[in-house]
Structure 1
Amino acid sequence: MDRPVAPPGWPREVRPPDTPDWERTAAAWLLDLCPPDYRRYDGLRRHVVVLARFAVLHVESAQAACRRGLSEARGDLGQVAELSVVEAAVQTFLLEEARLLGVRRSVGLVEDALRGRRYVARL
């Protein structure tokens, strides 16, 4: 039998698919990505694949907010802050955009695994 494989981009906090408690670790990690109020919803805690879909959409909305903030930063913040502060904000948006790109990949991989996709080690 093949041993469980986690593909590149798989979150460290989540055990590979088909290992003991992997779905429990996936649920905990997904809940940490989402707004704290999501923990109140029994349906999200009981149905991890639904939670994964919510997490994907949450991360994608954060990506959209980051892109908007980046596109508006100079015009909007330039009126209320010094140029060095505006440039620091732009750099922060760029860092956050890069971080979210990795998070989106990771949450997508977890969602795919929860939907039944399995990964194979390649040489």
Structure 2
Amino acid sequence: MAVPDPHRNVAPPGWPREVRPPDTPDWERTAASWLLDLCPPDYRRYAGLRKHVVVLARFAVLHVEAGQAACRRGLSEARADLGQVAGAEVVDAAIATFQLEEARLLAVRRGVGLVEEALRGRRYVARL
């Protein structure tokens, strides 16, 4: 019986919990499911994205980055745009929401980038 290699099947920090580590059974299926959940629902219609998970990962990266850009724009324009139609308390709450979403998307972007790298063949080694 082969001795398990402790350096295989390592998921780096920031790896999404919903995706099994690379090279474990069904890891690409779990990656595809998670990536599709990140993308607009219409992406599920495209057989090419479901069939070629690495392509789906690239689409997901770009989609998440677009969300990050939208948050940055929302933050930079919130006071000027919303101040005309809402009170200071509402504007402050909107800014806080943009900040929370920006932080969430930062973590998602890291995870989707790691999954894309793994789908392209990059593997991580456990360090002590």
User: Which of the numbers 104, 107, 113 marks the counterpart of 2:109?
Assistant: 104
Q: Distance in 2 between matches of 1:31 and 1:79?
A: 37
Q: Which runs of 5+ in 2 are unaligned?
A: none
Q: Distance in 2 between matches of 1:113 and 1:33?
A: 17
Q: SS of 2:16's equivalent?
A: coil
Q: Distance in 2 between matches of 1:3 and 1:44?
A: 27
Q: SS of 2:127's equivalent?
A: coil
Identity over the aligned pairs, expressed in percent? 85
Alignment of 1:1-80 (within 5 A): 1=5, 2-80=7-85
Q: Which runs of 5+ in 1 are unaligned?
A: none
Q: Report the alpha carbon displacement of residue 3 of structure 1 after superposing the two structures with TM.
A: 2.9
Q: Distance in 2 between matches of 1:42 and 1:3?
A: 31
What is the aligned length? 123
Structure 1 stretches of 4+ with a deviation exceeding 3 A read none
The two structures have a TM-score, normalised by structure 1, of 0.99
RMSD: 0.6
The two structures have a TM-score, normalised by structure 2, of 0.95
